[in-house]
Amino acid sequence: MPATPPRDFLLERWRRNMIASRTTVYGLVALTSVIGLALPAAMSARPGQITSSAQSSTGSQRGQTNFCGDDDVWVFSESTDIIDLTGDSLVCSGSSGTSSQAYGRSHDLSNLDTGGNDISLQCVTWGMKQAVEDLTATVNVYSDDDGNPASGLAFIGSIDGTISANDQPFYQTFEFDGLVVPAGILFIELIVDESTSQNSHSIAANDAGQSSPSWIRTLDGSCSVGNWTDLANIGYPDVHWVEQIEVAIAVPADPCNDPLPECAGDISGGDGNPDGVVGVDDVLAVIANYNNSGDGTFRPTGDVAPAPNGDCVVNVDDLLEVIAQFGNECAPPTPSLAMNELRTNHSGTDTNEYLEIAGTPGDSLDGYAWIVIGDGSGDSPLGHLETVICLDGQSIGSNGYYSQILENVFENNDPVTHLLVRGLDLPENCNLNGTIDLDLDDDGTLDSTPWEETVDCVALIGAGEDEVVYCDVTIGPDDIYTAIGGYRCPDITGDWVMAPFNLGCLDTPGEANACSQDDADQDGVPDCADNCVDTFNPDQADCDGDGEGDACDLGIDCNSNQIPDDCETDCNLNGSPDDCDIDGGLSSDCNSNGIPDECENDCNGNGVADECDIDNGDSQDSDGNGVPDECEGSVVVINEIHADPAADLPGDANSDGVRDGSQDEFVEIVNKSGGDLYLAGGTISDAVAVRHTFPPETPVLADGCAIIVFGGGDPLTFTSDFGGAVVQVASAGFLGFNNGGDTVTLADANGTVIDSYEYGSDGGDNQSITRFPDVFGESFFKHSEVALDGSLFSPGTTIDGDTFGGADCGDGGTAPDADGDGIPDDFDNCDLFNPDQLDCNNNGVGDVCDLADGTSQDEDGNGIPDECEEVAGGGWINEIHYDNGGGDVDEMIEVVLLDGVDAANCTVTLYNGNNGNSYNTFVVGTEFTAGETGSGYTIYSIILPSNGLQNGAPDGLCLDIGGAVAHFISYEGTMTANNGPAAGMTSVDIGVEENGGTTIGSSLGLVGDGAGSPDGYTWAVLADLASPGSANDGQTISP
């Protein structure tokens, strides 16, 4: 269940800021009413997948057309009907104008059959309902990894345009110049600039259907939609944006349009590659390829003339050009700028990262940028531009170097490519919003290079086999780690030398590199940085961190592994490495795992490691968690919670063959108490309400057995036996656990909490969260992270599919029941028929038996012991407000306490009339605010948030003074309390009510003169006269 803001908050904000537009013909009629908001528990949907051919679409869209004027395209639209532009629409607007806002649509291109060719985006078309003026607009294109723009977006490209004023519905098309996009999910964003005009525009929409959500956000956070928001989740499920895109096979660039290289005549040497000299081999290469021509996909070998681009044909002009260049040497020129030194990481906090560029003193760096290409997220994680450092306004220093010291800027754990580029062109200049995917198909070749020239590059690599970088010049790996940087020796033109992890004498940002130090032991580490100057140790290993390398600091080495004993594992702290203790017979190792037994868990203190106790059969481990049963306590626990079923069949937790985001939610309860457990009358609640009440026919749960409650479904269609667990479905019709965080509580029939667990956002990752180890683990983990097979859930079994050790789970339902009330004798609080098990005085004996044996009296014959109907004096509930039109505002409770009554001993308990259970309790003395004080009384009140009081049919409130009920009322009907201070009592209906027509500032309250008792007053509707903390209009309080 997705997390949503409170309904009333959203409604109020949208009431003030959202304008709804409605037309019935091609003309705009602005309505003053607002489309009612609702918050269904809708899940984000991925865009529809298709197998396409040219001119196909995502389904049976009405009126599909090509807006780019090219028939050889694929057309994608999430809209079922793209002709109807007149449906309800939304725009965030207010008295000061219309905010800058964005509209979004997703499209899944993953099933396109392109024959291995790239895909290019031709155009994006949005339906517009109206525009009152010319508006600047931008279309941004992103790749997306999950169909939800809240995360996983990687920028691909954008185009700016103008939406022209028009008071009739129209289409606005934005044409791209063959933007290459990945064969995955695209997210299309239309940003319309702000305007001083109210309702400056409306995106066309209809309610004909859509394959995935319509999205909206405001750039300044107005209307409470500063982040991407699914319209269905804010009460507009029938507003579907009209939009489509058109894509085609990308046409590759013709290499013959590229300029010829500087030394074009150097075609081929002895090995077939250019050798730096124009000679006989190059003449022969022209002759061998004479009359060859390119076909638009390649330049023929030997095409070297005329300048600057050649002509894509090998002919006499090319032969004459090679002869004219004969004998020329093609030595590469010394670069005017070069990346010269780099550090991305060091010990401690990375406050001394740096970059260094070498060049001609005084040269400007305007137009240059140092960029980093690393990894991102989504379907195409490689080749993401992740860091940009623009160098405008900087210049090479008088000593020939420019450097910049940085703090926590560079990525330092994965392979990355650093480049010095000129003419970088980004949508927001040098500011990155996330990352930009430059390698759309992850083939190791950049599909997009939004800069004019690559001046220099170097890649930092690790020890991985499949690492992808985008420069032939590399540094690393550093043992198993990615290199953290390096320096050129000699400066500018030399090879790169890998830098050590720790800062030291080799770090010289802004100065000439330290390339000429002595290296006495010839291990490649200059003496100034060598931790063992006279002994060859290129790995610089220093296990004890004392600054002296192990090669010079070996000391005692009992196992001759070249690691000082001081640096090896010594779990028993006897000064000898563990393996030497075991080999020498000083320690035993019953399971041969290299750990002395005295260092392993031995929970029962018998001198044998727990694992060996279990393996030898000396201890049992019924739940398979590696802990002997005799060491584990007696518990009844919530063991697994599933709030966010995965999409499609992988999310079918109840095994009915259909994935349902509500029905496949579940909670698993395990009995490891050492005895039987009877949960009938008990409840499962979340932070909002009771979601399931265990029915009387709930079987007795034996020790080692589990019970699962699913959100819904028909158990007769469930195909799994769930490890023999008892299976039920939520009595409320759903569980409704919040994906973003919730509190799940198991309580017994008396309302006593048996177990409760509060989880956070980890509950919303398309899988359950589960105790690890099962039952006795104190923490919950995502299921796939602790299950050996990576499974998403395991209702009824342990994480890895085993039972919890119980036998005949559920058979307890046939236990003896002498009085036939459905409650097994062992759990029945009375040997007379009493299926409700009422025990209002909480003496452990049912009310029926208390009355039958004379323990309690019942003078009024209503079946409730008289002591439970004792009503205290000294105060009453005086005024309430629980509902009004739109979002509930200023819900409140007011009580009157007479002098001599201690407010600290008074509570107000709220009751849900559907199940009779309490849902909140407030202490008057600490949570209410004292208001009017009169002769013999004080008025106390509390203002509640929206939905603080439930909206009736019916619901109730109870004022308890010193442990006795003083006033028990309800609205919209009577009810009987099931627990709390009013347990077993029936409320008094106040006879007046509020509804959606009630105005803000109204309430229900007592009026008249009651002479110190609520019975003397009359409940009335106080229209626009709410007065929390003061006597009601028309009321005289005279104790």
Q: Is the pLDDT of residue 41 over 50?
A: no
How does pLDDT run across 535-555, given as a tens digit for each residue?
A: 888 888 877 777 788 778 766
What does the alpha-carbon distance between residue 239 and residue 231 come to, in Å, rounded to a whole number?
7
Contact status, residue 277 vs residue 287, Cβ threshold 8 Å: no
Q: Is 388 in a helix, a strand, or coil?
A: strand
Q: Determine the Cα–Cα distance for residues 1011 and 731; give it in Å rounded to an integer.
A: 45
Neighbours of 515 (CB within 10 A): 15
Say if residues 614 and 630 touch (Cβ distance below 8 Å).
Answer: no
Structure tokens at 572: 């028993």
Mean local confidence (pLDDT), 559-563: 75
Task: Give the separation between CA 873 and CA 687, rounded to whole angstroms.
Answer: 33
User: Which is higher by pLDDT, 970 or 297?
Assistant: 970
315-324, 437-446, 863-872, 1009-1018: segment of lowest average pLDDT:
863-872
CA 377 to chain centre: 13
517 has pLDDT over 70 = no
List pLDDT tens digits, range 270-279: 777 788 899 9
pLDDT value, residue 345: 92
Proportion of the chain above pLDDT 70, given as a percent? 91
Q: Nearest 10 degrees: CA dihedral of 620, 626, 632, 638?
A: -120
pLDDT given for residue 262 in this prediction: 82
- Asked if pLDDT for residue 248 goes beyond 70, the answer is yes
Strand, helix or coil for residue 13: helix
Nearest of 405, 391, 367 to residue 510 by alpha carbon: 405
pLDDT one-digit tens code per residue, 474-508: 999 998 899 999 999 888 988 998 998 888 888 88
pLDDT per residue as tens digits for the range 86-96: 999 999 998 89
Q: Is the pLDDT of residue 60 over 50?
A: no
Contacts of range 538-545, beta carbons closer than 8 Å, 24 or more positions apart? 539/479, 540/500, 543/567
Q: What pLDDT does 622 receive?
A: 65
Structure tokens at 461: 């690599």
Predicted pLDDT of residue 829: 87
CATH topology classification for 870-1036? Immunoglobulin-like (2.60.40)
Host H or E run for residue 582: helix 578-583
Among the ranges 39-48, 499-508, 862-871, 948-957, which has the highest mean pLDDT value?
948-957
Are residues 298 and 280 in contact, defined by beta-carbon separation less than 8 angstroms?
A: no
Backbone angles phi, psi at 581, to 5 degrees: -60, -45
Tell me what pLDDT residue 8 has: 26
Alpha-carbon torsion 540, 546, 547, 550, what sign?
A: negative
Token pair belonging to 338: 């070069």
What is the distance between the alpha carbons of residues 1039 and 266, in angstroms, rounded to a whole number? 111
The torsion defined by the Cα of 464, 465, 471 and 475, in degrees rounded to 10, comes to 50
Contact predicate 526/513, CB 8 Å: no
pLDDT of 763 above 90: yes
The ranges assigned to domains in the chain are: 7-249, 263-332, 337-361+385-516, 517-546, 633-812, 870-1036
pLDDT at 199: 94
Residue 47 pLDDT > 60: no
Instruction: Give the DSSP per-residue string, 520-578.
Output: TT-SSS-GGG-SSTTS--TT---TT-SSS-GGG-----TT-SSS-GGGS--TT-SSS-H
Q: Quick check: 454 and 371 in contact, CB under 8 A?
A: no
- pLDDT score for 869: 63
User: In the predicted model, what is the mean pLDDT of the chain?
Assistant: 85
Residues 6+ apart with CB under 8 A from 484: 343, 344, 345, 346, 412, 460, 478, 499, 501
Does residue 59 register a pLDDT over 50? no
Same topology between domain 633-812 and domain 870-1036: yes
d(CA 841, CA 856): 9
> Quick check: 2 pLDDT over 70?
no
Is residue 696 within 8 Å of 717, Cβ to Cβ?
no
Asked if 191 and 100 count as a contact pair (C-beta separation under 8 A), the reply is yes
Nearest CA to 161 among 140, 130, 179? 140
> 678, 821, 828, 666: which is closest to 734 by C-alpha?
666
3-state secondary structure of 938: strand
The model carries a pTM of: 0.39
Confidence at residue 757, expressed as pLDDT on a 0 to 100 scale: 95
Q: Report H helices in 300-441.
A: 316-325
Residue 659: strand, helix, or coil: coil
Residue 441 pLDDT > 90: no
pLDDT for residue 486? 93
Indicate the residue type of 437: D
Quote the tokens at residue 932: 């009017």
Of all residues in the chain, the percent with pLDDT exceeding 90 is 52
| Residue closest to 96 by CA, chosen among 15, 191, 218, 200 | 200
Could you give the 3-state DSSP secondary structure of residue 670?
strand
The predicted pLDDT at position 388 comes to 95
**Chain centre to alpha carbon of residue 250:** 34
Q: Which pair of structure tokens corresponds to residue 201?
A: 């525009």
Q: Lowest-confidence range among 502-506, 708-712, 789-793? A: 502-506
**836-840, 911-915, 934-938, range with the lowest pLDDT:** 836-840
pLDDT of res. 31: 23
> Cα dist. 901→850, 894, 897, 905, 906 in Å?
32, 16, 6, 8, 8
- 424-429 average pLDDT score: 78
Residue 905's pLDDT band (cuts 50, 70, 90): very high
The two beta strands, 337-343 and 955-961, are unpaired
Q: What is the pLDDT of residue 870?
A: 52
**Confidence grade of residue 602 (pLDDT, cut at 50, 70, 90):** confident
Tell me the two tokens of residue 568.
Answer: 């090896």
User: Looking at per-residue confidence, does 434 or 57 come out higher?
Assistant: 434
Distance in angstroms (rounded) separating the CA atoms of residues 753 and 547? 57
Whole-number pLDDT of residue 50: 27
Most confident range (mean pLDDT) of 342-351, 815-824, 857-866 is 342-351
As a whole number, mean pLDDT of residues 389-404 equals 92
Q: Residue 566: its pLDDT value, please?
A: 77
Q: pLDDT value at position 623?
A: 64
Q: What is the DSSP string of 94-136?
A: ETTEE--EEEEEEEE-TT---TT--EEEEEEEEEEEEESS-EE
Residue 943, number of CB atoms within 10 A of its CB? 15
Residue 6: its pLDDT value, please? 28
The structure tokens listed for 908 are 């107000």
Quick one: pLDDT at residue 814? 57
pLDDT above 70 (res 335) = no
The answer to whether the CB of 1021 falls within 8 A of the CB of 1004 is: yes
End-to-end CA distance of the chain: 51
Which whole number is the average pLDDT over 826-835? 86
Tell which residue, 670, 764, 761, 758, has the closest CA to residue 709.
Answer: 670
CA–CA distance, 352 with 407 (Å, rounded to integer):
6
Q: Which residue has the tokens 């918050």?
A: 39
- Per-residue buried b or exposed e for 555-593, using 16+ beta carbons within 10 Å of the residue's own CB: eebeeeeebbbebbebeeeeebbbbbbbeeeebebeeee
Q: At what angle do helices 316-325 and 280-288 cross, to 10 degrees?
A: 180
Cis peptide leading into 490, omega within 30 of 0? yes
Top-ranked range on mean pLDDT: pick from 43-47, 56-60, 615-619, 685-689: 685-689
pLDDT band (50, 70, 90) for residue 754: very high
The C-alpha atoms of residue 243 and residue 637 are separated, in whole angstroms, by 50
Thinking of the domain 633-812, which architecture would CATH place it in? Sandwich (2.60)
Burial of 38 (0-12, 13-18, 19+ CB in 10 A): middle
Q: What is the pLDDT of residues 642-657, one digit of tens each?
A: 999 999 989 999 999 9
Q: Is the pLDDT of residue 61 over 50?
A: no
Strands (E), 306-460: 337-343, 353-359, 368-375, 382-390, 401-406, 416-422, 436-437, 453-460
pLDDT number for residue 70: 66
Longest C-alpha distance within the chain, in Å?
125
Give per-residue pLDDT as tens, 300-314: 999 999 999 999 999
- Mean pLDDT on 118-122: 89
How do strand 18-22 and strand 29-30 relate by DSSP bridges?
A: antiparallel
**Confidence class for position 810, pLDDT limits 50, 70, 90:** low
Residue 717's pLDDT band, with cuts at 50, 70 and 90, is very high
